[in-house]
Amino acid sequence: MASEREPEIKEFTCTECDTINQFEIGKYASGIKTIFCKKCRKEIQLIYDRTPVGLDLKRPVEKGPM
């Protein structure tokens, strides 16, 4: 379901090289966004949920070796 909000530009720092990456969050209520760091090209996957007071943005928990 689409929200009435406009897309937002957000920033996220790469955990590998500390580069700040900008990306656009669409106007949907929630989703998963995959971007690649502009410096080291590492894949960054983000989960977002819109709340009544703003946008909750987080990284998925990475699984360690088994």
pTM value? 0.60
pLDDT on residue 64: 47
Give Dmax (Cα) for the chain.
43
Q: What angle do CA 53, 24, 7 make, to 5 degrees?
A: 55
- Euclidean distance between CA atoms 8 and 53, whole angstroms: 14
Going from N- to C-terminal start, the domains of the chain cover 8-58
Pairing of strands 43-51, 20-25: unpaired
Q: With contact defined as beta carbons under 8 Å apart, do 32 and 57 qualify?
A: no
Supply the pLDDT for residue 59: 64
Q: How does pLDDT run across 4-34, given as a tens digit for each residue?
A: 567 788 888 898 999 999 988 877 777 888 8
